[in-house]
């Protein structure tokens, strides 16, 4: 795995992990790398300094402690996503992988309508939209899938 610091044409800077340098180049060529902040597809590697230390000093150096606990929002965008997640989870039922069948059943009137969120593959979500069933992707993963 390799981590690159990337920069978009609007000067947003963000980090991303790739399987290899060749994998990054292939994904970039296919237009599958975009800015995590604004979504711009014009992305390039930013200037980076390698994080290398001599082997004999490695054992003596303690790893740096993060200033904020993991999972704590650090930017305005992260705070907005956290607030959105909290609102979605507080105002809807998580139906997991049964999302598609539940959405169809509500649309057909076989079960009472209610606010739900869950998981669906892209082709399943497109089929729901094609059938006139309104769905929207959420910008976060379910809690059980996060590392």
Alpha-carbon distance of 92 to 108, in angstroms, equals 19
As to burial, measured by CB atoms within 10 angstroms (0-12 exposed, 13-18 middle, 19+ buried), residue 33 is: buried
pLDDT of res. 56? 67
Q: Give the pLDDT of residue 81.
A: 81
User: Residue 15's pLDDT is what?
Assistant: 87
| pLDDT, position 20 | 87
pTM score of the predicted model: 0.49
Please, what are the averages of pLDDT over each run of 10 residues along the chain (147 residues)? 88 87 89 86 82 62 57 72 87 92 94 92 92 87 60
- The CB-based long-range contact list for 96-102 (8 Å cut-off, 24+ gap) reads 96/142, 100/124, 100/125, 100/127, 100/128
**The pLDDT of residue 50:** 67
pLDDT of 82: 83
What pLDDT is recorded for position 16? 87
Confidence at residue 93, expressed as pLDDT on a 0 to 100 scale: 92
């Amino acid at each position: 795995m390799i981590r690159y610091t990337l920069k978009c044409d609007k000067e947003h800077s963000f980090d991303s992990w790739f399987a290899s340098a060749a994998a990054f180049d292939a994904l970039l060529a296919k237009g599958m790398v975009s800015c995590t902040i604004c979504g711009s597809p014009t992305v390039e590697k930013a200037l980076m300094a390698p994080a290398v230390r001599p082997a004999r000093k490695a054992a003596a150096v303690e790893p740096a402690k993060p200033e904020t606990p993991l999972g704590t929002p650090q930017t305005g965008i992260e705070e907005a996503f956290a607030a959105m997640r909290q609102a979605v989870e507080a105002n809807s039922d998580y139906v997991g992988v049964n999302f598609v069948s539940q959405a169809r059943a509500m649309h057909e009137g076989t079960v009472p309508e209610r606010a739900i969120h869950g998981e669906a593959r892209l082709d399943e979500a497109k089929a729901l939209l094609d059938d006139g069933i309104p769905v929207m992707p959420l910008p976060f993963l379910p809690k059980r899938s996060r590392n």
